[in-house]
């Protein structure tokens, strides 16, 4: 039986545990993620999604229950560095993760601190920057880049350490649509090359990219399944204070006006194709 890359069992976490300011954030969460998956974790603010993600590379440790990465218990201090080399994280603010004065120096920082030999660093830096389509910008100061480019530099810095899994904790939340599109394209390339992707987001349009969508509520997983299966549960999503992807909302509005569009439209290309098919049918 294949060992899950990430496994949590009855995971509970409380901020300020044992104090009058204690705040429960996770309440008995169970989850397995296998290598190569693209998982989106969604939920409204305070649902526990970011708290869960920070257990995946031992930034947080369970109050009770357990979290395992590649068979390693995150509570064991001896495993902290190996776990963080397998699971890299990218956060909302790229400026807080960028430390180099030029792009290639910043990308080299992580692997250099892992002890990667100097002669191997240039190859790692180039590969990482090419994956996020930033190799031509390698000599530029990061502060001169756009927000989307900065976030891709942050991703490249993690990828240069060659993790098995990349966790994006609201990594597109501060970006405009163009910046989000840039980051998502980089993430698609990484997943196609076998990197496990876990994306924490409140943008439902990003969730359609995933192979699996999880919806958090009150520190537990309330919904889990393919994007099509999850977004088919519209009433439940409304109860969880979440909406549908934009294309699905437009299709639903068109159906209410009498358009014979399929129920499972989630993306703009699918919507355009369905409308085009409908128009051709009327012409015929």
Residue-range domain boundaries for the chain: 6-94+163-239, 245-284
Query: What distance lies between CA 247 and its chain's CA centroid?
Result: 21
Distance CA 200, CA 168 (A): 6
* Residue 37, number of CB atoms within 10 A of its CB: 18
pLDDT of residue 166: 94
The string of pLDDT tens digits covering residues 155-181 is 999 999 999 999 999 888 888 888 888
pLDDT of residue 1: 55
CB 91 within 8 A of CB 171: yes
CA distances from 90 to 13, 229, 280 (A): 21, 28, 45
Question: In the chain, what is the straight-line distance between the N-terminal and C-terminal CA atoms, in Å?
Answer: 54
- Name the residue among 8, 15, 7, 11 with its Cα closest to residue 65: 11
| DSSP assignments along 101-144, one per residue | SSHHHHHHHHHHHTT--GGGHHHHHHHHHHHTT-GGGTTS-GGG
pTM of the predicted model over 0.75: yes
CB 211 within 8 A of CB 38: yes
Two structure tokens written together for 253: 């509005």
Two structure tokens written together for 190: 């990484």
3-state secondary structure of 166: strand
Please, what is the average pLDDT of the chain? 90
Helix crossing, 177-192 with 121-131: angle to 10°? 120
CATH topology for the 6-94+163-239 domain: Rossmann fold (3.40.50)
pLDDT over threshold 80, residue 281: no
More confident residue, 84 or 263: 84
pLDDT of residue 274: 83
On the CB side of 32, CA atoms within 13 Å amount to: 5
pLDDT of residue 175: 82
DSSP 175: S
The string of pLDDT tens digits covering residues 90-122 is 988 888 888 889 999 999 998 988 888 999 999
């Amino acid at each position: 039986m294949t060992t899950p890359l990430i496994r949590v069992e009855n995971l509970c976490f409380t901020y300020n545990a044992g104090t009058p300011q204690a705040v429960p954030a996770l309440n008995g969460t169970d989850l397995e993620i296998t290598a190569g998956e693209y998982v989106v974790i969604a939920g409204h603010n305070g649902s526990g999604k970011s708290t869960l993600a920070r257990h995946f590379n031992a930034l947080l440790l369970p109050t009770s229950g357990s979290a395992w990465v590649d068979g390693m218990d995150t509570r064991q201090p001896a495993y902290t560095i190996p776990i963080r080399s397998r699971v890299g994280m990218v956060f909302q603010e790229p400026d807080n993760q960028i430390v180099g004065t030029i792009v290639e120096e910043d990308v080299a920082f992580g692997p250099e601190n892992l002890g990667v030999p100097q002669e191997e660093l240039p190859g790692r830096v180039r590969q990482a920057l090419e994956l996020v389509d930033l190799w031509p910008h390698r000599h530029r100061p990061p502060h001169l880049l756009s927000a989307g480019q900065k976030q891709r530099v942050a991703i490249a810095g993690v990828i240069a350490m060659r993790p098995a899994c990349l966790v994006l904790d609201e990594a597109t939340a501060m970006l405009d649509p163009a910046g989000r599109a840039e980051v998502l394209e980089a993430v698609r390339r990484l997943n196609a090359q076998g990197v496990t992707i876990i994306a924490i987001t409140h943008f439902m349009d990003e969730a359609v990219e995933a192979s699996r969508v999880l919806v958090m509520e009150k520190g537990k997983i309330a919904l889990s399944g393919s994007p099509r299966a999850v977004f088919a549960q519209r009433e439940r999503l409304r109860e969880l204070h979440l909406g549908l992807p934009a294309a699905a909302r437009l299709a639903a509005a068109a159906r209410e006006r009498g358009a014979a569009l399929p129920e499972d439209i989630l993306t703009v290309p699918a919507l355009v194709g369905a409308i085009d098919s409908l128009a051709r049918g009327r012409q015929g």
